[in-house]
Chains A and B, each alone.
Chain A
Amino acid sequence: KQEVTQIPAALSVPEGENLVLNCSFTDSAIYNLQWFRQDPGKGLTSLLLIQSSQREQTSGRLNASLDKSSGRSTLYIAASQPGDSATYLCAAGGANNLFFGTGTRLTVIP
C-alpha cells in the first residue's frame, strides 16, 4: 500500500523567507502528485497538480517538483507571507484514490 510521508511536521518561519516542504512516497507507480492547503477546520484547497510525466508545476509564488524514480516531491514557497500559514498536504494519485501525507503545519510570523 502506498505510504506518503511529509517532513517537517511543523515549520515556523519569519515573513519573507523562502521555504521548502518535502513529500516522499513509497510506490513510484503514481498517476499524479497533488499539493493541497488546509486551513483549520476547513476543506482542502488544491494548489498544484503534477502529472506523472511532468517534472514541475508553478503557480505564482509556488513551485512543485516531482521525482518519481526517487519517490519525492517538494513544494517551494517564495517570499512567504502570514496568509500562507496553514497545513500543507501532498497526495499521491492512484487510479481512483489519493494517498495523503501527514501534512506540514506552516506558521509564517509577521
Chain B
Amino acid sequence: DTEVTQTPKHLVMGMTNKKSLKCEQHMGHRAMYWYKQKAKKPPELMFVYSYEKLSINESVPSRFSPECPNSSLLNLHLHALQPEDSALYLCASSQDLARAFFGQGTRLTVV
C-alpha cells in the first residue's frame, strides 16, 4: 500500500466555521507533511511532523492547527479562515530521506 489518503476531497467553508482536514498513511512512514498549493504555483511547506512531534512550522497563522494523533494520521484543524486561504492542501509522508508520497489533496474554498 503506497497510498496517502486525504479527506474530504472538496470543502467549502465560511469564515466563521471550524473544519478539519484528514490524512492517513499505512506505509510506516515517520515523517508527515502539510503543504499548501495555490493555482499555478508550486506547493509550499506548512508543517512537518517527525515521529509524531511537530518539527517544523513555517510561520503558519494560528488559524491553521495541525495535529498528529498517531503515526498513521495527520489532521489540519481550520478556524476563522480567510478567502485567501482557499487553495489545494496536500498531505505527504516519507521515511527518512526516501521518496515522498503525496495524497490527492483537499480543494478548500473559503467563502
Contact = CB atoms under 8 A, between A and B. Distances in A.
Q: Do A and B come from one complex?
A: yes
- Give the dominant DSSP class at A's interface: strand
Interface in B49-91: 50, 55-56, 88, 90
B9 to A, nearest CB: 10
A85 interface: no
A69 interface: no
A32 B97 contact: yes
Contacts, number: 53
A1 to B, nearest CB: 11
B45 interface: yes
A102 B97 CA distance: 22
Given A96-B48, A96-B55, A43 B103 contact: yes
Interface of A: 31-32, 34, 36, 41-46, 49, 51, 89, 91, 93, 96-98, 100-103
5 contacts: A41-B88, A41-B107, A42-B104, A49-B98, A93-B97
